[in-house]
């Protein structure tokens, strides 16, 4: 397709999974514990897991006039809703955004594993074996979804991993890389209150480094994990908690991987910090660097570089379609580790005009080229391709 002659790719294009995904793709012997997607509210992304409904809604009140979805999104998503968000509708969405390639991430799947384990909180938690089975079911469905797009070499899956069982997550990573998945994804919230730099997770980082596949972190919504990056106990409206949720989760992950020492232990591991913006990074990295210089000599003697240097060497951040402040990131840190996403098909997306909006941002043309394709291909280890032609539609 190309945009103004540039290849264009979505680094984390979402799918809208069917409500019965896990009922169709999990062993029926899991019985009533199999997750079930809900379809009670408009474009419902919630999923029931055991006794939990995730994502969690905020306090209920008499419904005010208005809705989170914009009126023009009804027509924009009409094709996908008519086709029940199938593979063909995903390809149509790519064409509407002039995308030549995309890596697919979930919607319901962002929340389905967001529970503490039974090892930590007892029977109200998520059994590690069940968590693994949930991830396997999603990944099997995603493999079929990607195949149904009939765009080999252009569309790819990111594998869901369940950190409740690190050994099983390592096996699941291998299983999916072998069949063409180009990344793994996790959510920022802590399982069993263990931060990501806890050495329990080192086997997973070690295997991702060996396989040369990125580990991607992508937050979303209010779940049962802590910390609650949305401050949902105190902020009761979407316009209050949502601005915090995505960026703060990503900042937490960035801190674990840089100041927490993961990227010192695994110097070639690639980490993607997705849908959390990039404009915060110069300030946050200034703070982390300042504290490394202050207390690092005795609190983190193994760190041989500033946290910001680990970020620039190993991490990729994402830029929203209208993120004008990102220009300050490029001024401070350059444009070699930022990627682009449309955020299709979520309510805060600019779809079907996200790519067009991005092209109107006050960035250098060379920067736009890197964000739309070069950095995406580098992150996911993909070769250059020709723009999608009319015949391929």
Domains and CATH numbers, the chain: 9-59+68-189+203-221+316-392 (3.20.20.140)
Q: How far is CA 109 from CA 36, 114, 342, in A?
A: 11, 9, 18
Residue 308 buriedness (CB in 10 A; 0-12 / 13-18 / 19+): buried
Which of 136-150, 235-249, 256-270 is predicted with the least confidence, judged by mean pLDDT? 235-249
Reported confidence tier of residue 392, pLDDT bands at 50, 70, 90: low
- Position 389 pLDDT exceeds 80: no
pLDDT of residue 69: 85
- Position 119 pLDDT exceeds 60: yes
Residues 234-246 have pLDDT tens digits of 998 888 988 999 9
pLDDT of residue 4: 83
Residues 28-45 have pLDDT tens digits of 999 999 999 999 989 999
Distance CA 303, CA 89 (A): 47
pLDDT of residue 64: 66
Percent of the chain with pLDDT over 90: 84
Among residues 219, 328, 324, 217, the alpha carbon closest in space to that of 262 is found at 217
Distance CA 393, CA 385 (A): 16
Residue 216, phi then psi, degrees to nearest 5: -110, 135
The pLDDT of 160-165, averaged and rounded, is 98
- Residue 36: strand pairing partners: 48
Q: How far is CA 116 from CA 35, 111, 119, 124, 193, in A?
A: 16, 12, 8, 9, 8
């Amino acid at each position: 397709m190309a945009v103004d002659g540039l290849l264009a790719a979505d680094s984390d294009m979402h799918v809208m999974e069917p409500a019965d995904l896990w009922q169709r793709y999990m062993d029926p012997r899991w019985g009533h514990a199999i997750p079930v997607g809900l379809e009670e509210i408009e474009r419902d992304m919630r999923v029931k897991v055991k006794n939990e409904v995730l994502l969690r809604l905020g306090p209920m009140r008499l419904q005010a006039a208005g809705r989170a979805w914009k009126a023009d999104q009804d027509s924009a998503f009409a094709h996908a809703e008519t086709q029940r968000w199938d593979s063909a509708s995903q390809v149509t969405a790519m064409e509407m955004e002039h995308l030549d390639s995309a890596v697919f991430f979930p919607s319901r799947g962002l929340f389905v594993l967001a529970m503490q384990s039974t090892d930590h909180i007892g029977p109200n938690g998520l059994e590690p074996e069940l968590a693994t089975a949930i991830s396997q079911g999603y990944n099997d469905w995603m493999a079929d979804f990607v195949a149904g797009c009939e765009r080999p070499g252009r569309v790819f899956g990111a594998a869901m991993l369940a950190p409740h069982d690190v050994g099983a997550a390592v096996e699941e990573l291998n299983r999916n890389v072998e069949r063409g998945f180009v990344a793994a994804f996790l959510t920022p919230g802590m399982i069993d209150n263990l931060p990501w730099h806890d050495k329990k997770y080192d086997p997973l980082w070690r295997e991702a480094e060996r396989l040369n596949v990125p580990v991607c972190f992508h937050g979303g919504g209010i779940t049962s994990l802590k910390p609650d990056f949305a401050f949902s106990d105190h902020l009761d409206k979407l316009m209050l908690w949502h601005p915090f949720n995505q960026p703060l989760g990503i900042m937490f992950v960035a801190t674990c991987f840089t100041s927490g020492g993961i990227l010192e232990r695994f110097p070639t591991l690639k980490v993607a910090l997705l849908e959390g913006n990039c404009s915060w990074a110069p300030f946050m990295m200034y703070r982390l660097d300042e504290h490394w210089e202050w207390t690092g000599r005795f609190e983190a003697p193994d760190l041989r570089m500033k946290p910001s240097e680990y970020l620039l060497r190993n991490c990729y951040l994402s830029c929203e379609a209208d993120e004008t402040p990102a220009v300050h990131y490029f001024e401070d840190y350059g444009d070699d580790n930022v990627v682009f996403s449309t955020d299709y098909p979520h309510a805060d997306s600019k779809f079907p005009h996200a790519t067009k909006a991005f092209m109107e941002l006050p960035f250098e043309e060379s920067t736009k080229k890197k964000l739309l394709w070069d950095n995406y291909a580098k992150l996911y280890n993909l070769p250059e391709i020709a723009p999608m032609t009319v015949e391929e539609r």
